[in-house]
Amino acid sequence: MSTSEGSSGSSAAAAVEVPVVSTEKKKEKSRVSKTSQILWHAHHNDAAAVRKLLEEDRTLVQARDYDNRTPLHVAALHGWIDVAKCLIDYGADVNAQDRWRNTPLADAEGAKKSAMIELLKTYGGLSYGQNGSHFEPRPVAPPLPKKCDWEIDPTELDFSNSAIIGKGSFGEILKACWRGTPVAVKRILPNLSDDRLVIQDFRHEVNLLVKLRHPNIVQFLGAVTEKKPLMLITEYLRGGDLHQHLKEKGALTPSTAINFAMDIARGMTYLHNEPNVIIHRDLKPRNVLLVNSNADHLKVGDFGLSKLIRVQNSHDVYKMTGETGSYRYMAPEVFKHRKYDKKVDVFSFAMILYEMLEGDPPLSHYEPYEAAKYVAEGHRPMFRAKGFTPELKELVEECWAPDMNKRPSFLDILKRLEKIKDALPSEHHWHLFTS
């Protein structure tokens, strides 16, 4: 940043100190920028650009992103052999572990990249991590489960360049900075900070989030519970929410919609894992977030209405608050104030998958409440998009079945989406398929 033009009258001591600080800041900024660049080029299969960066600074081979993933993790996941070879030439650690303890080889195996698997094994790659079991995400226990470890001092939160990224009846969500890292801060409105029910809901959400750890769930970082305003801090995802993305892009290609749906289903499979089932109860595009502007990875967020249920047996149902969540994506049993279980989330998922392929919200010609009422009467949105293969249409219809017992589990949904994805024609032949 340039110094102020009015600084000529400052003391000699200040004149000496300022450049030192700014030089350090510039170095750090440059380092962060180059880390982003090498991860970006690794993601886009640009081996020449990766090599150029490494020629300038060999240490970038060990660069780490938000989730502790190295450029080799990125290349392994996508199967970019030339990028991987270049990184290995510059001394990449083939057994580096990301936040979930996955090695590059575990990522390659999860994505079924056979040539990459061979290459990494040649250089001593080990399949250590969680992605070997593609459909059964096993969570890593949070390293710091005690409250004292995640309580954040509000003075550490920098709001000097903050921006409002969301609003609700409880307060607002702001982009801020915490220890040099962009974060999302859910801040309770001052006039609600003494409301007993608001405080109860806030603490419930914190106690729930601290237990969650999965690649497709927005990561909890900490909270301010001992001072006002109450705040909840999570990772900041640059890509915004799925609602905004669909508004800008319209209907997604079947390939993209399936990839997005699989990310949502992975997160939901983890939440629905017994015996401690978490029912989201407000699954909708606004609560699904894009990791970055490339829109290549999604995470499920906003657990304000979620419910943690200890399941005695897999067929337990619960009498919970009716009309919880957003009307347009609401399961009929919730609208009717009937007993319901985790399959309410499967219904909402069907509506999201429908919207991704159609490009418009389900029953967009109805107001949200009227749409929920129409659905509760037994009606469903019409399929119009060419992107609906018979298999996708069948899956959506099963997921929004009136009888919740006939809706598949998210683990089943994930397996079916994998099959549908494998059977899909390649993107550039898609127009032949739909004509």
Residues with catalytic roles = 282
Residue 299 marked ligand-binding: no
User: Which residues lie closer than 8 Å to 200 by C-beta, 6 or more apart?
Assistant: none
- CA 408 to chain CA centroid, Å, is 22
Give the H/E segment covering residue 260: helix 254-271
Which residues face 279 on adjacent strands? 307
Query: Strand, helix or coil at 330?
Result: coil
Q: At 322, which amino acid appears? A: G
- What are the φ and ψ backbone dihedral angles of 218, each rounded to 5 degrees? -60, 130
User: Which residues lie closer than 8 Å to 72 by C-beta, 6 or more apart?
Assistant: 42, 61, 84, 87, 88, 92, 93, 94, 96, 104
- CA 52 to chain CA centroid, Å, is 31
User: Which residues lie closer than 8 Å to 184 by C-beta, 6 or more apart?
Assistant: 165, 173, 174, 175, 176, 218, 233, 234, 235, 236, 237
- CA 289 to chain CA centroid, Å, is 5
Which tokens go with 383? 């399929």
Q: At 117, which amino acid appears? A: I
Query: Strand, helix or coil at 397?
Result: helix
Q: Name the H helices within 46-161.
A: 47-56, 71-78, 81-89, 104-110, 114-122, 147-150
DSSP 324: -
Cis peptide before 275 (omega within 30 of 0): yes
Q: How many CB atoms lie within 10 A of CB 227?
A: 13
| Annotated binding-site ranges | 186
